[in-house]
Amino acid sequence: MKITTLIENDVATGHQNLKAEAGLSLLVETADLKILFDTGSSGAFADNAEKLGVDISLVDMVVISHAHYDHTGGLERFFQINKKAKVYINENVKGNYFYKLLFLKKNIGTNHDLLKTYEDRFVFVSEDMTIGDNVTVVTTIKTNHKLPSDSKHLFVKKNNKLVPDNFAHEQILLITEAAKLYVFTGCSHHGIVNMVESVEHLAKGKPMNVVGGFHMYNPLTKGLSEKKEDVIKVGKLLNNKNIESIATGHCTGKGAFGLLKTVMGDKLLGLNTGSILSV
């Protein structure tokens, strides 16, 4: 499997000609499919794709991890380039989502106009769904472990009131290939350990490769949103799973990545704009 990071918060060494933004977009290439996982905050992922020699018009399907704009912001640009691929997105994308901290209140949801304008391109997912040979979207996510600390700032509007987001709009992309299970998590708002534990029974003994952000970064302070000991605990819990590799970036943050690296060593890989992984 080949995974190309089309956009992420930072640029990989040697790719200074590419754009970075607070968002995530990955091109996942299996033996049979080209899958776009998320689209970043804007259309910049497509500019990067062109510079990397990636033809977005050839993408077979899109899977959106959750309803926040930093993962759906490039959808309109995608539709302008690609005229065929369906977009698998959780039906709860139709909600109104906000980030709230003190006097700051920011709408961070998906542009609802897109859902109407490109209605024929969306497949709204309401339960676990097989979307291709060896490709599944999972919506059933456990919460045995606590959620990331920054979750307390994330809300959804219901009956004209903001209530804590339960992240019902989040889903996991699973791909089985070469006797391995690949787990794509986006931002892991449910918590990366919860998400891995929600799908590990589907691995049926196969080693897992996990890809996505872990939501351990505070965008205001530019530092950790979690206690150091909690980050290390997550690393240890993941180390006890049948996981071959973990590639992370975006909302994980450099501080958390460094701490996880001390625990996980070579098992932990980085995602940066322009990076290409063969796992």
Q: Per-residue pLDDT averaged across 63-87, rounded?
A: 98
Q: What is the mean pLDDT of residues 44-50?
A: 98
**Span 5-17, average pLDDT:** 97
pLDDT at residue number 128:
98
Q: Is the pLDDT of residue 85 over 80?
A: yes
Q: What is the pLDDT of residues 100-142, one digit of tens each?
A: 988 889 999 999 999 999 999 999 999 999 999 999 999 999 9
Least confident of 54-63, 196-205, 211-220, 253-262: 211-220
pLDDT of residue 222: 81
- For the cut 90, the answer to whether the pLDDT of residue 213 exceeds it is yes
Q: How far is CA 3 from CA 28, 182, 205, 271, in A?
A: 5, 11, 23, 10
Angle of helix 228-239 versus helix 192-203 axis, rounded to 10: 0
pLDDT of the residue at 104: 85
For the chain, give the DSSP string. -EEEEEE-SSBPTT-TTS---SS-EEEEE-SS-EEEE---SSTHHHHHHHHTT--GGG--EEE---S-HHHHTTHHHHHHH-SS-EEEEEGGGGS-EEEEETTEEEE-S--HHHHHHTGGGEEEE-S-EEEETTEEEE-----SSPPPGGGGGEEEEETTEEEE---TT--EEEEEETTEEEEE-TT-TT-HHHHHHHHHHHHTTPPEEEES----EETTTTEESS-HHHHHHHHHHHHTSSEEEEEE-GGG-HHHHHHHHHHHGGGEEE--BT-EEE-
At residue 183 the predicted structure's pLDDT band, cuts being 50, 70 and 90, is very high
Domain that holds residue 110: 2-278
Instruction: Give the model's confidence band at 223: pLDDT under 50 very low, under 70 low, under 90 confident, else very high.
Output: confident
Burial label for 70, CB within 10 Å (0-12, 13-18, 19+), is buried
Task: Examine the pLDDT at 55 and tell me if it is beyond 80.
Answer: yes
- Give the pLDDT of residue 220: 77
pLDDT at 25: 98
Mean pLDDT rounded to a whole number for the chain: 96
Residue 218 reports pLDDT greater than 90: no
With 80 as the cut, is the pLDDT of residue 263 above it? yes
Angle between helix axes 254-264 and 228-239 (nearest 10 degrees) is 40
Number of domains the chain contains: 1
CATH assignment at residue 65 = 3.60.15.10
Q: Over the stretch 238-247, which tens digit does the pLDDT of each residue have?
A: 999 999 999 9
Residue 88 has pLDDT above 90, yes or no: yes
Per-residue pLDDT at 27 exceeds 90 = yes
Closest CA relative to residue 274, chosen from 72, 32, 10, 59: 10
Token pair 């790719």 is found at 15
What is d(CA 203, CA 182) in angstroms, rounded to the nearest whole number? 9
